[in-house]
Amino acid sequence: MRFTGGRGAPAPTCRRRPRPSQPKHKSRHPSERRAAWWYRLHGYRILDTNCWVAGAELDIVARRGRVLVFCEVKSKSGTRFGDPLEMVDAVKVHRLQRAADGWLARHPEARGLEVRFDLVAERAGRLEHIANAF
């Protein structure tokens, strides 16, 4: 029998690692909050943020219509250490795809939706959204 958290509440679908100073449901980094806001402004419903599945974190899971988006948010404070998009390599892509598979396995209601992987990069305070990044 699966523990539901008492009083019929559903069991949490993702393991979260919140910082002690912030509530569990908030995105931890300001660029992640800004990216979630961007998705909301463009008609998406945020289903999950900072969700740990299969040993990897999904920054944002959003849905608009029949499209389910798994979004990775990267930010850099300056150009000294390279571009934020350079931080997403083949290993990171594989981890995100594995985490997305795990998230979909836990959410059978999302079966049949078109899945898309987006990247959002913050450079010098500006967000750049890349749809279908991989």
- Are residues 117 and 70 in contact, defined by beta-carbon separation less than 8 angstroms? yes
pLDDT digits (tens, 9 = 90+) for 32-55: 999 999 999 999 999 999 999 988
Region for 74 from its dihedrals, namely left if φ exceeds 0, alpha if ψ lies in -120 to 50, beta otherwise: beta
Q: Which two tokens stand for residue 73?
A: 């948010």
**3-state class of 58 per DSSP?**
strand
Q: What percent of the chain has pLDDT over 90?
A: 51
The predicted model gives 125-129 an average pLDDT of 86
pLDDT at 123 over 90: no
Q: How far is CA 128 from CA 15, 98, 121, in A?
A: 28, 24, 5
* Ranges of each domain in the chain: 30-130
d(CA 115, CA 5): 30
What are the backbone dihedrals phi and psi of residue 33, each rounded to the nearest 5 degrees, phi first? -65, -40
Q: How far is CA 84 from CA 26, 80, 128, in A?
A: 22, 11, 10
**CATH code of domain 30-130:** 3.40.1350.10
Top-ranked range on mean pLDDT: pick from 40-44, 80-84, 122-126 = 40-44
pLDDT at 69 over 60: yes
pLDDT at 24 over 60: no
pLDDT (0 to 100) of residue 38: 95
Mean pLDDT of the chain: 81
pLDDT (0 to 100) of residue 77: 67
Task: Find residue 56's DSSP bridge partners.
Answer: 53
pLDDT at 57 over 90: yes
Specify the higher pLDDT residue, 27 or 76.
Answer: 76
Which of 50-54, 79-83, 130-134 shows the lowest per-residue confidence on average (mean pLDDT)? 79-83
pLDDT at 13 over 50: yes
